[in-house]
Amino acid sequence: MVSGKEKLAVAVQFLNAGNIESGKSLLIELTLDAKVAEQALTLLFKIAMKQNNINQAKYYCLQLINSCSSKFDYVYTLVQLYLSDNEYNLAISALESYLALFPNHDRARLELGVLAKKANHKELAKKHLLAVTNSSLENKYTALTELATVYSELYQDHKSAVNCLKEVIEAEPSNIQAHFNLANIFEQQGAKQKAKFAFYSVLSIDPKHSLALARLADLDTFDEVSALAYEQRSLELLKKETNDVLCADLHYALGKVFNDIKNYSKAWGYYTKANSFNQKYLPKYDRNAIDQVTEHTLNRSHCMHQAPASEQLTPIIICGMFRSGSTLIEQILNSCCDVSAGGEITYLHSQLFNLVGSKNDFLHKVKSCEFSKGYHSELALRAKNTSLVTDKRPENYLYIDVIKSLYPNAKIIWTERDIRDNSLSAYFQHLGPNLNYATDLNDTIHHYEHQQIIKKHWQRYFDKDIFTLEYDQLVVSPTATLQTLFNFLGLAYQGEADTFHQQKNYVSTASVWQVRKPLYNTSSGRYLNYLPFIVECIENGEYKDLLKS
């Protein structure tokens, strides 16, 4: 009688000879033989991966877990497969199932905490990361670093985040990630000297840390001597830097440095290179997809007939183009004792955007109690004893009807800015996949035009609750502009334009340092410094005419 091991050897011979189907058939038969099942399943898994059949690979991985329940490597592999398909809930369930059998497995608990953090399941993330810090010396400081992010980003508890990171640094003074994360928090807090010290701490540990050097550019105002010194150090790093993201970071930083000293030609060159690197890894801006999103939004019923989520909280939605003054307005409103700053709440966009093209699925989602409770909890987390809380996520302009159905008293502030300055300001920032239009001025104009179409649509239904705030008017006539805005919101204006920059709150957008200064108007008309370069980039005839005016 031929043994399982002998049959396994025959199956391997088939595979080596290129006879894949015969090899697979024999391996499937061998999965029923307990003595060689694990080896057979492992080979079947490898075949599925080589054939890029992810679903089949998941199946065999599940079979391996069933037959070898104690081996975490199989669970970890399955989790990675789920994540490759953005199946976060299945990945989390796989880890939870393993921990139900092996509750003291700290690696599994750490992976679950990190994954829950990425999926915005804050309670789950906190529970498991805390457990690791209390039970595992080996993984304690990794868990504390991750826990700091949970506190700062998901709980808005920056004090606890700082305490976690300081504990890590005290035990591991060379922990680069802890120093870097601490610098981020200090920067959001507006503590410039502390942020600089933390970034320099990173560079003292790793002088080739490109991102830390790039981030320091925003913390200084350069003169010609310091600009050239910064350029020399950056170019030395760029000679060996192979990561396109970091190359983009350094080129954006160099653009900012030479803009400081009014060397606009050199600044433009660096900004252009930065955007070319950014385009390499960002998804390409799809104008047809934006056209479809606009069409679906315009065709959606504006009345959701949803019962209000709460009478105790009312959101103030701040939307409009990125870099049009939304963070500035939020800071001004937050200096009023009746308003809390919510920042960019991701909830609505993350829940709804993938459903925009499916009207029934979209309506089913927004009418669910789970959805309305989820958004309300995000607002409540940030409300800080006020009934008004801002949400300045840029993409919220797509969901004004949803917001008004949940919160009939919600007010919308639509920030606008001279598109010539607005498009240039976005072009000068290293932005993420949701703002990929910013890497090309023509795409930015396209995106702006579609926002304007949707704005006009909402104004047909909610005109009394939409306030257009012109950035250039605000910086020239702040008192008159803000008195009108505060009246629109039902608030008393008390000179907030003079005090907003003194706040010690946290700001996590690209405008973090601009809103720490008193109002200034030097950004209006900034495009004139770059006019010759912009004209060469523009395809749109109407926009070319606008540049000549």
Give the tens place of pLDDT for each residue, 135-162: 877 899 999 999 999 999 888 899 999 9
Domain ranges for the chain:
300-514
Here the tokens at position 45 are: 């898994």
Here the tokens at position 175 are: 């922990």
DSSP 8-state symbol, 352:
H
How far is 157 from 164, CA to CA, in rounded Å? Answer: 11
How far is 230 from 226, CA to CA, in rounded Å? Answer: 6
Provide the pLDDT confidence category of residue 86 given band limits of 50, 70 and 90: confident
Would the pLDDT of 460 be above 70? yes
Residue 548's pLDDT is what?
59
468 by DSSP, 3-state: which?
Answer: strand
Distance of CA 114 to the CA centre of its chain: 16
How long is the chain? 549
What's the mean pLDDT when you consider all of the chain? 90
Q: What is the mean pLDDT of residues 346-366?
A: 93
- 121 and 104 Cβ atoms separated by less than 8 Å: no
How far is 421 from 531, CA to CA, in rounded Å? Answer: 11
How far is 256 from 359, CA to CA, in rounded Å? Answer: 44
Would the pLDDT of 254 be above 90? yes
Q: What is the mean pLDDT of residues 465-481?
A: 93
Residue 497's pLDDT is what?
74
pTM of the model: 0.84
| 537 against 509, higher pLDDT | 537
Would the pLDDT of 171 be above 90? yes
Would the pLDDT of 309 be above 70? no
Would the pLDDT of 118 be above 80? yes
How far is 359 from 419, CA to CA, in rounded Å? Answer: 32
Would the pLDDT of 514 be above 90? no
pLDDT above 90 covers a percentage of the chain that reads: 73
Provide the pLDDT confidence category of residue 525 given band limits of 50, 70 and 90: confident
Q: In what order do the strands lie in the sheet with 466-470?
A: 339-340, 388-391, 314-320, 411-416, 466-470
How far is 394 from 434, CA to CA, in rounded Å? Answer: 10
Give the tens place of pLDDT for each residue, 268-297: 999 999 999 999 999 999 999 999 999 999
Nearest to 253 by CA among 225, 222, 285: 222
The total of other beta-carbon atoms located within 10 Å of residue 205's CB is: 15
Q: Which residues pair with 340 in a beta bridge?
A: 389
Q: Which residues pair with 318 in a beta bridge?
A: 413
Q: What is the mean pLDDT of residues 172-201?
A: 94
Residue 511's pLDDT is what?
52
Would the pLDDT of 541 be above 70? no
Nearest to 404 by CA among 301, 304, 295: 304
Distances (CA, A) of 131 to 75, 104, 108: 20, 10, 11
Using only C-alpha atoms, the chain has a radius of gyration, in whole angstroms, of: 27
- 389 and 407 Cβ atoms separated by less than 8 Å: no
Here the tokens at position 333 are: 């409103």
Phi, psi (rounded to 5 degrees) for 389 = -140, 135
Q: What is the mean pLDDT of residues 195-204?
A: 96
Would the pLDDT of 505 be above 70? no
Q: What is the mean pLDDT of residues 79-96?
A: 94
Distances (CA, A) of 529 to 262, 323, 525: 9, 18, 8
Residue 536's pLDDT is what?
81
Give the tens place of pLDDT for each residue, 4-42: 888 889 888 989 999 999 999 999 998 998 899 999 999
Residue 512's pLDDT is what?
58
The total of other beta-carbon atoms located within 10 Å of residue 35's CB is: 11
Give the tens place of pLDDT for each residue, 405-448: 999 999 999 999 998 899 999 999 998 888 999 999 989 999 99
Q: Which amino acid is at 526?
A: R
Provide the pLDDT confidence category of residue 251 given band limits of 50, 70 and 90: very high
Nearest to 432 by CA among 341, 328, 484, 510: 510
Q: What is the mean pLDDT of residues 218-223?
A: 92
Residue 433's pLDDT is what?
86
Would the pLDDT of 496 be above 90? no
CATH, domain range 300-514: 3.40.50.300
Distance of CA 127 to the CA centre of its chain: 23
Residue 160's pLDDT is what?
96
DSSP 8-state symbol, 153:
I
Residue 190's pLDDT is what?
83
Q: Which residues pair with 412 in a beta bridge?
A: 317, 466
Q: Which residues pair with 416 in a beta bridge?
A: 470
